[in-house]
A and B are shown apart, each in its own frame.
Chain A
Amino acid sequence: MNLIRKKIALGIVALMGVTSAFGAQARSYPDALAKAGKSKPVILFCYGANYDQVSQETYETFIHSKNKEIIRALGKESWVVVPVFQEPNEKEKKEYEKVMGNKHLPGEMWSLPCFLIMDGAGNFRGAVQSKEEMESPEAAATALTTLLKNFAVQQKLIEEAERSNGENKKKALQKALDIPRLSVPGHKSYDPVYSGLLDKVQTMSIPEATDTVRKELAGGPFTPLERQMILATLAGHVRHKGGSADLLRSLYTEIKEIDPTSAFGIYAEGAIKLWAGGGNGSAPTQQAQ
Chain B
Amino acid sequence: MSSKLIKLILALAVAIALGYFSYPLFYGETSGKHRQIAQIPTNGTPKGKDPSDVPPETPQPSAPTEISDGASDDDWQKGFEETSDQQEEEETTAENDTSEGGDNSFMFTDGDPDLRGITEEKDAPEVAGQTDVVPPALTVQREHSIVDAAKNLANAFQQQAKKPTPPQTKPEFDAEAWKQPQKIYKTVMERVLQKLGDKPTPESILSFLGNAENRSDIALISLCRKAGLSDLKDVASRPMGGKLLETLSSDPDWLCNTMFSGPVDKLGRGLMYMETIFQASPQDMMEPISRRIATTAATEFAREGWDKEGMLARYNYYNTSYKEGKLNKAFNSLKYWETRFVTGNREHDTWGSPQSLAWERDNVRLPLERYLDASSQLHYRMKNAFGDSVHGPDYLAPVRAAMGNITPLMHREIGGVCGACSHYGAYAALAAGIPAMTMGEPGHCAYTVRVNNDWKKGYTIFWQHSMHKTFWNLHDWEFLILAQKLYEDRENTLVSDHLAAVADLLAARRFTRAAIECFNAATVVQPLNWPAWQAEAGFLKQKAPKNKANWTDLCLRVSNTMAENFHDAAATFLARYVYPQLLPLVPNLKERNKLFAAFFNKCNDYGVHHWDIAPLLNAQFEGCRTDAEKLDYMKTALSVLMSKPDYSGSVLAWGLDAAGRSAGEEEGQKNSHLQEEFSRLIISAMSHMRASKKDQNATWNGLGEAMCAAENNNDERTFQAIGKLAMQKCKKNFPKYKFKFKSFSGKVISTKGLIQTTHKLNDAAVRDGCLHWGVLQKTGGSIPMPAGGDGSVSVKMDEGGQINGVVILFDKPIEDGQNYTLETSEDGQNWSKTNAEAQLNVSVMRFDLQEHGINARYVRLVKAGSDKNSTTNLVGFYVYGKPNKSKS
Interface residues of chain A, those whose CB is within 8 Å of chain B, are 48, 50-55, 57, 84-87, 107, 110-113, 129-131, 191-194, 196, 198-199, 201-202, 228-229, 232-233, 235-237, 239-240, 263-264, 266-271, 273-275
Contacts and interface: CB of A to CB of B under 8 A. Distances in A.
5 contacts: A55-B365, A110-B377, A193-B385, A236-B386, A269-B398
Contacts of B414: 263, 267
**Which has the most chain A C-beta neighbours within 10 Å: B326, B381, B384, B401?**
B384
Contact of B387 (A48, A84, A233): A233
Nearest to B329: A51
A131 B866 contact: no
A201 B383 CA distance: 13
A110 B367 contact: no
Nearest to A235: B386
B369 interface: yes
Contacts of A201: 387
A57 B365 CA distance: 14
Shortest Cβ-Cβ A-B pairs, 9 listed: A270-B398, A236-B386, A263-B413, A86-B367, A236-B387, A53-B325, A131-B362, A232-B385, A271-B398
Nearest to A230: B385
B385 A233 contact: yes
A48 B367 contact: yes
Contacts of A266: 398-399, 402-403, 413
A112 B385 CA distance: 30
B413 to A, nearest CB: 3
B326 A53 contact: yes
Nearest to A47: B365
A199 B865 contact: yes
B150 to A, nearest CB: 32
B498 to A, nearest CB: 33
A48 B365 contact: yes
Interface in B383-404: 383-388, 397-403
Contacts of A273: 398
Contact of A51 (B367, B373, B377, B401): B367
Contacts of A240: 387
Given A48-B365, A87-B451, A233-B387, A268 B865 contact: no
B403 A111 contact: no
A191 B414 CA distance: 12
A193 B102 CA distance: 44
- Interface size bracket, B side: 35 or more
B368 A86 contact: yes
A87 B387 contact: no
Nearest to A191: B379
A270 B452 contact: no
B700 to A, nearest CB: 34
Interface of B: 325-326, 328-330, 362-369, 373-374, 376-377, 379, 381, 383-388, 397-403, 413-415, 451-452, 865-869
Contact of B399 (A57, A85, A229, A263): A263
B365 A111 contact: yes
Contacts of A239: 386
Nearest to B368: A86
A85 B329 CA distance: 12
A52 B373 contact: no
Contacts of B384: 193, 232, 236
Contacts of A84: 367
Contacts of B399: 263, 266-267, 270
Contacts of A236: 384-388
Given A110-B364, A111-B365, A270 B385 contact: no
B455 to A, nearest CB: 15
A191 B381 CA distance: 10
A229 B386 CA distance: 8
Given A199-B867, A267-B414, 18 more contacts: A50-B329, A53-B325, A110-B363, A111-B362, A111-B363, A113-B365, A192-B385, A193-B415, A198-B385, A232-B385, A236-B386, A236-B388, A239-B386, A240-B387, A267-B398, A267-B399, A273-B398, A274-B398
Contact of A270 (B364, B381, B383, B400): B400
A225 B656 CA distance: 53
Contacts of A264: 385, 413
A270 B364 CA distance: 26
A224 B388 CA distance: 21
Contacts of B385: 191-193, 198, 228-229, 232-233, 236, 264
B386 A233 contact: yes
A192 B400 CA distance: 23
A273 to B, nearest CB: 8
Contacts of A235: 386
A268 B363 CA distance: 24
B363 A87 contact: no
B390 to A, nearest CB: 11
Nearest to A131: B362
A38 B771 CA distance: 51
Nearest to B402: A266
Contacts of A86: 328-330, 367-369
Contact of B452 (A57, A87, A111, A113): A87
Given A53-B329, A55-B365, A87-B451, A269 B387 contact: no
B330 A111 contact: no
Nearest to A54: B326
A85 B330 CA distance: 12
A144 B855 CA distance: 72
A100 to B, nearest CB: 14
A107 B383 contact: no
A267 B415 CA distance: 13
Nearest to A113: B365
B865 A85 contact: no
**Which has the most chain B C-beta neighbours within 10 Å: A51, A55, A129, A232?**
A51
A54 B402 CA distance: 27
A111 B383 contact: no
Contacts of B326: 53-54
Nearest to B362: A131
B364 A194 contact: no
A31 B380 CA distance: 37
A194 B329 CA distance: 40
Contacts of A57: 325
**Which has the most chain B C-beta neighbours within 10 Å: A52, A130, A269?**
A52
A117 to B, nearest CB: 18
B366 A193 contact: no
A156 to B, nearest CB: 30
Contacts of A271: 386, 398
Nearest to B376: A107
Nearest to A201: B387
A130 to B, nearest CB: 6
B816 to A, nearest CB: 10
A7 B22 CA distance: 96
Contacts of B452: 87
B369 A202 contact: no
A87 B369 contact: yes
Contacts of B364: 110-111
B398 A193 contact: no
A269 B224 CA distance: 57
Contacts of A263: 399, 413-414
Given A194-B868, A198-B385, A199-B867, A54 B365 contact: yes
A110 B365 CA distance: 8
A78 to B, nearest CB: 25
Nearest to B865: A199
A270 to B, nearest CB: 3
A84 B366 CA distance: 9
B363 A130 contact: yes
A134 B386 CA distance: 32
Given A202-B387, A236-B388, A51 B368 contact: yes
A99 B329 CA distance: 23
A232 B395 CA distance: 12
A101 to B, nearest CB: 19
A198 B329 contact: no
B372 to A, nearest CB: 13
A275 B398 CA distance: 9
